[in-house]
Every structure is written in C-alpha cells, then in structure tokens.
C-alpha cells in the first residue's frame, strides 16, 4: 500500500501557534503512522519532515519504506537523508497509477503537465491555478494521519481529472481523513494580504457604485465562477450588505461582468480566523459571477 503524508514538522513547536496544532502533535503523528503503515508499505513524505535530528530518527524508525520529496525545511544533503534511512530522496517525482499521471512535490508546481499535482507546503486547501489539477494535502485537515493512496482515493482522483477542473473545498474535505472542524479562511483565499492597484467596484442595477479598497479588503481571490473576499465586518454590514449587484470591475481589468450577483456572508462560526493573517474582525463573503471560468486564478 502507498501512503501519503506531508509537513509533519516533527518537534517544531511553532506549529502550535502558526497552524493551531495540538500540544503533542509530534507523538500523535508518529503514533498514527505506526498504527497504519506496515513494513511492506511505502510512505511518500511530501517534505518538511522534522525540526531536528532526534525527531527525524524517531520518524525513520517507523515501519515501511520511505520516500522523501524534499521540502523547503529539509535542508540537509541528499546523502544525509539516504543514510538516515530514506529509500529515495527527490525534489519531485511522477508516478502513474491506474492511468493517472501524478506529480508529487512539496510546493505546488504551477503550469505542470501531469494529470494532477499532489503537494503540501501550504497548510491549507487553497489552490492558485484553475487550469491545472491540484490536490493540496494539509496535515491539519487529515487528522494528522497518513492517507492511503488506495483504489477509492485513486478513483476520486480519476473523476477529478476526467472532469477537467480542480476539486471544490467540499470535495477536498470529503477525501481528507479525520477532517478537523470547519474550514479556515485561508483555505478559501490563501495567506496573502491584498495590494490592489485600485478599488474593487460593484454596480447596482440603477448604476449606483460601491467601492471596496485596500483598507476594507484584506484578501481577495477569484476562480471559476466565484470571487472570494475577506473584508472588514464594518464595511460589509454598513456599506456592502446583501444588495443585488449587476456588475463588478476587478482592479486589473476594465471589463465589467454583468451577471447579476449576490454577495453572501458565510456564517461567522464556520470560519476560524485565529490562524489567518488578519488582526481585525473580518467577514468571509463571496459572490458568483458567470464568466470567470476562462480566467486564471489570482491572489493579490
């Protein structure tokens, strides 16, 4: 059996604050690997294994063959990791399973030519590129367990590839084992603060304009037929609300999209903000606009 895991960061205590991990996450990860992976199995680690040599050696004592797809925190030499016990150490690797050409990497490989890029690094389920299929693994959404690349999982990947677009957040959650709690804001819009060259503009049917600038939008991201925004609660409640809009002008576009749209707030209790880059009270909202499907995803 093939198993996948990523971004274990064993012994890295900063993960408690930056990613909201439980206090004993290192032991939890090792225990889960020990319970699931057998000596004749292969565990593909998508990078950022351990914070120190002691924790790395604990990982290497686990059952099974081990492949390391090097991450940005795996800074030792390839011979070092091979001598530690990895059977293979690579920067990326491609494997074909049941007709699906899978590219394994630590960070997402934009513009890849495989059927799907399976990667880690982000600690969220956000994808920047709508034209190439990605499966972002986030240990925080996997119950801190390795994920089996079994027939069921490969079957789901086949359906994504056949459909020709990235999976939705709901589909990603359904596939991840032991999904922990609600989606984080950064799962939708990444971890990048906005730097818009000019305000985002919405139009009502009567021509009334509503501008939303950098002071009111912390993040903003669009893909397929949706535009996601993280804006200040004050601006949302006092100015934008739930008005029906007939057009929007993106900061880097002159074209107005004229599909009627309705901005919707996601219930506050379903969005965890403690691990987001925002220091003020934010609302995650979005609207659906036909016509974005031929656009490349962008996070400002």
Same-domain status, 11 and 159 = yes
Query: pLDDT band for position 209 (50/70/90)?
Result: confident
- What is the predicted pLDDT for the residue at 210? 81
Q: Is the pLDDT higher at 97 or at 263?
A: 97
Domain edge (last residue) among 181, 213, 246:
181
Backbone angles phi, psi at 129, to 5 degrees: -120, 115
Please count the structural domains in the chain.
Answer: 2
Same-domain status, 156 and 42 = yes
Same-domain status, 113 and 49 = yes
Same-domain status, 111 and 215 = no
Of 41-45, 111-115, 151-155, 215-219, the one with minimum mean pLDDT is 215-219
Q: Residue 90 belongs to what domain range?
A: 2-181
| 260 pLDDT higher than 80 | no
Q: How far is CA 215 from the centre of its chain?
A: 25
Same-domain status, 176 and 231 = no
Same-domain status, 66 and 82 = yes
| 183 pLDDT higher than 50 | yes
Q: How far is CA 17 from the centre of its chain?
A: 18
Distance CA 75, CA 116 (A): 26
Same-domain status, 225 and 123 = no
Pair type for strands 2-5 and 42-45: parallel
Same-domain status, 45 and 151 = yes
Domain edge (last residue) among 157, 181, 205:
181
For residues 198-213, average pLDDT: 79
Same-domain status, 79 and 176 = yes
For residues 226-244, average pLDDT: 71
- Using one digit for the tens of pLDDT, what is the confidence trace for 128-146? 666 678 999 999 888 999 9
- What is the predicted pLDDT for the residue at 35? 97
Domain edge (last residue) among 146, 181, 216:
181
Backbone angles phi, psi at 189, to 5 degrees: -125, 15
| 198 pLDDT higher than 90 | no
Same-domain status, 54 and 172 = yes
Query: pLDDT band for position 204 (50/70/90)?
Result: confident
- Using one digit for the tens of pLDDT, what is the confidence trace for 34-85? 999 999 999 999 999 999 999 999 999 999 999 999 999 999 999 999 999 9
Same-domain status, 119 and 235 = no
| CATH number of the domain where residue 152 is located | 3.60.21.10
């Amino acid at each position: 059996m093939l198993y996948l895991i990523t971004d274990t960061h064993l012994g890295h205590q900063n993960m408690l604050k930056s990613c909201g991990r439980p206090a004993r996450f290192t032991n939890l990860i090792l225990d889960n690997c020990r319970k699931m992976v057998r000596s004749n199995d292969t565990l593909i680690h998508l990078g950022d294994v351990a914070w120190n040599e002691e924790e790395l050696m604990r990982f290497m004592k686990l059952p099974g063959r081990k492949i390391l797809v090097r991450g940005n925190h795996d800074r030792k030499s390839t011979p070092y990791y091979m001598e530690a016990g990895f059977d293979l150490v690579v920067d990326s690797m491609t494997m074909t399973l049941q007709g699906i050409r899978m590219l394994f990497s630590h960070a997402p490989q934009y513009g890849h030519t495989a059927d799907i890029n399976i990667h880690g690094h982000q600690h969220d389920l956000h994808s920047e590129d709508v034209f190439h299929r990605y499966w972002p693994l986030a240990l925080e959404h996997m119950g801190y367990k390795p994920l089996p690349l079994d027939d069921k999982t490969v079957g789901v990947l086949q359906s994504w590839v056949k459909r020709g677009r990235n999976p939705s957040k709901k589909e990603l959650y359904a596939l991840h084992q032991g999904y922990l709690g609600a989606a984080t804001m950064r799962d939708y819009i990444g971890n990048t603060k906005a730097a818009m060259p000019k305000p985002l503009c919405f139009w009502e049917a009567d021509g009334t304009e509503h501008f939303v600038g950098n002071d009111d939008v912390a993040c903003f991201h669009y893909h397929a037929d949706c535009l996601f925004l993280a804006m200040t609660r004050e601006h949302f409640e006092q100015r934008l609300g739930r008005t029906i809009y007939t057009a929007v002008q993106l900061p880097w576009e002159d074209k107005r999209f004229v599909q009627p749209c309705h901005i919707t707030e996601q219930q506050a209790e379903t969005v965890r903000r403690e691990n987001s880059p925002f220091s003020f009270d934010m609302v995650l909202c979005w609207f659906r606009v036909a016509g974005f499907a031929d656009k490349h995803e962008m996070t400002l």
